[in-house]
Amino acid sequence: MGSAFLIFLIRIAIAGCLVAPFASSGAAQTSAPLQVLQRTAALYRNLSSYEFQVTVQTIHSGNVSEQHLREIGARPGKFRIEDTDLKGDVRIADGQTEWTFNRGSSEYSKTLLYANTLTPISDLENIDQHVTQAEFAREELYEVDGKRVPVVVVRVTRDQWPKDTLSGTQFAMYRIDENNFKVYKAITYASDDTQIVLYSILKWNEPVSEKAFAFAPSASSSAGSSVAEQQAAFKSLVGTQASDFTLQDTDGHAVSLHDLRGKVVILDFWASWCPPCRAEMPGLQRLSQELSSQGLVVLGLDVGETPDQVVKFARQESYTFPLLLGAEPDVSARYFVQVYPTTFVVDRHGRIVFSSADPQSVAATDLRSAVAAALRQ
């Protein structure tokens, strides 16, 4: 089946579920979602060499952790995974042997490679395996190398998840390029945790240095029976300095969070296809109208839509607070956004004093109380 016809099927299937992205429809139960997963799996199984910059974010009970990884690989069976800050563990495989080296303790372990040894792209090579249900959630735009490209969001449930998946995983959402089937983002939702993986492609079927797959223990290194896994440090975003950003509003004007220092700012990550987002926006409009004279600024950070879609929605609903474009993936990643709406309150000193990640709705009374407390400071 040609890519153009498959994209046609994608758009037909999505047409009925843009407004309610998780609703099952007859169209969404066609074989087209599974065909997208199959094409994606085939792409990665045939990938001869690669280099990715990968960000792994984990959210647990409102606290977050983040790792930045460099992943390199080549056929047959060669790969390297390490933190970009060159700390913690590094996994190196030369096609026959896998080494795991802990930079902190200088201990290493050595094992033979097996057919089921996990590589950096194992999950993507097997994205079409053990699928019990696949459906299109929506189409959206995703920024890749400075350009906004169309991606399809596929919601997947499985009867068996890879062994490195979060315990209690319920489903996963994949953002897949409609034209070339590359995966840019994967979100795994478990009963107690959420994991977000963002892929930045540095090399694709381009030569990579063989030195990346070589490991020679130094004189100070010692062999161990096992190497402890690096534990990510969790923190709460509340109480931390809000990450700065600059985005354009619907009039083409640049809006910078830093320039709003001295104001209390509500940051609301939203999209017009999201019913809970639409449900909370009248309350944000009321807050903006009532409290702007006291120093409140409300910013709606749109995710994955065109300027025309956002402008049309704002005019239809008569929203007057600024709606900013292009929050996905850079700004949303800085704020560990896993669901929509996700809402923050930033105080006059630039600190996050409130956050809510609720797929149903932001508790209006809690938000109003947080804003009132920040305005009193």
Per-residue pLDDT tens digits for 299-328: 999 999 999 999 999 999 999 999 999 999
Helices 307-317 & 275-291 angle (0-180, nearest 10): 60
- Give me the domain span that covers residue 85: 3-235
Residue 347 and residue 281 share a domain: yes
Which pLDDT score is estimated for 345? Answer: 97
Residue 325 and residue 211 share a domain: no
Is pLDDT of 183 > 60? yes
284, 269 in Cβ contact below 8 A? no
Residues 6+ positions from 352 with CB-CB distance below 8 Å:
237, 238, 239, 240, 241, 242, 344, 345, 346
Least-confidence region, from 84-88, 95-99, 121-125? 84-88
The torsion defined by the Cα of 22, 355, 244 and 189, in degrees rounded to 10, comes to: -40
- State residue 305 phi and psi, 5-degree precision: -120, 165
Residue 131 and residue 88 share a domain: yes
Which pLDDT score is estimated for 357? Answer: 84
Residue 216 and residue 308 share a domain: no
Q: Which of 140, 366, 148, 133 is nearest to 274 (CA)?
A: 140
CATH number of the CATH domain containing 352: 3.40.30.10
Confidence label for 61 from pLDDT (cuts 50, 70 and 90): confident
314, 250 in Cβ contact below 8 A? yes
Which pLDDT score is estimated for 172? Answer: 97
As given in the structure block, the two tokens for residue 131 are: 């699928």
In percent, how much of the chain has pLDDT > 90? 75
Q: Which of 54, 44, 50 is nearest to 199 (CA)?
A: 54
Cα gap 332→327, rounded to integer Å: 6
Would you list the DSSP string of 323-337? EE---TTHHHHHTT-
Which of residues 198, 217, 235 is at a domain's end?
235
Helix, strand, coil percentages in the chain from 3-state DSSP, rounded to 5 = 25, 40, 40
Which of residues 202, 235, 268 is at a domain's end?
235
Which pLDDT score is estimated for 4? Answer: 61
Which pLDDT score is estimated for 160? Answer: 94
Residue 300 and residue 151 share a domain: no
Which of residues 168, 202, 235 is at a domain's end?
235
Is pLDDT of 89 > 90? no
Is pLDDT of 34 > 90? yes
Confidence label for 362 from pLDDT (cuts 50, 70 and 90): low
Cα gap 342→31, rounded to integer Å: 32
Residues 6+ positions from 369 with CB-CB distance below 8 Å:
none
- Going by their DSSP bridges, the two strands 169-177 and 183-190 should be labelled as antiparallel
Residue 51 and residue 159 share a domain: yes
- State residue 259 phi and psi, 5-degree precision: -70, -15
19, 45 in Cβ contact below 8 A? no
In percent, how much of the chain has pLDDT > 70? 86
- Going by their DSSP bridges, the two strands 107-112 and 131-144 should be labelled as unpaired
Is pLDDT of 230 > 80? no
As given in the structure block, the two tokens for residue 27 are: 């169209």
Confidence label for 2 from pLDDT (cuts 50, 70 and 90): low
Which pLDDT score is estimated for 1? Answer: 54
| Helix (H) / strand (E) containing 314 | helix 307-317
- State residue 357 phi and psi, 5-degree precision: -120, 90
Residue 83 and residue 27 share a domain: yes
Cα gap 181→133, rounded to integer Å: 19
The torsion defined by the Cα of 278, 198, 68 and 277, in degrees rounded to 10, comes to: 0
Least-confidence region, from 22-31, 57-66, 230-239, 259-268? 22-31
335, 327 in Cβ contact below 8 A? no
Residue with tokens 């300027």: 307
Confidence label for 6 from pLDDT (cuts 50, 70 and 90): low
Is pLDDT of 166 > 70? yes
Residue 127 and residue 48 share a domain: yes
Residue 250 and residue 166 share a domain: no
Mean per-residue pLDDT of the chain: 88
As given in the structure block, the two tokens for residue 16 are: 């009925």
pTM for the structure as a whole = 0.87
Please state the rounded mean pLDDT for residues 169-198.
Answer: 96
| Helix (H) / strand (E) containing 89 | strand 89-94
Residue 159 and residue 241 share a domain: no
Count the domains in the chain.
Answer: 2
Give the residue with greater pLDDT, 30 vs 103: 103
Give the residue with greater pLDDT, 373 vs 377: 373
Residue 201 and residue 140 share a domain: yes
Q: Which of 81, 98, 97 is nearest to 89 (CA)?
A: 81
Residue 359 and residue 249 share a domain: yes
Cα gap 229→175, rounded to integer Å: 28
Q: What is the DSSP letter of 105?
A: T
303, 332 in Cβ contact below 8 A? yes
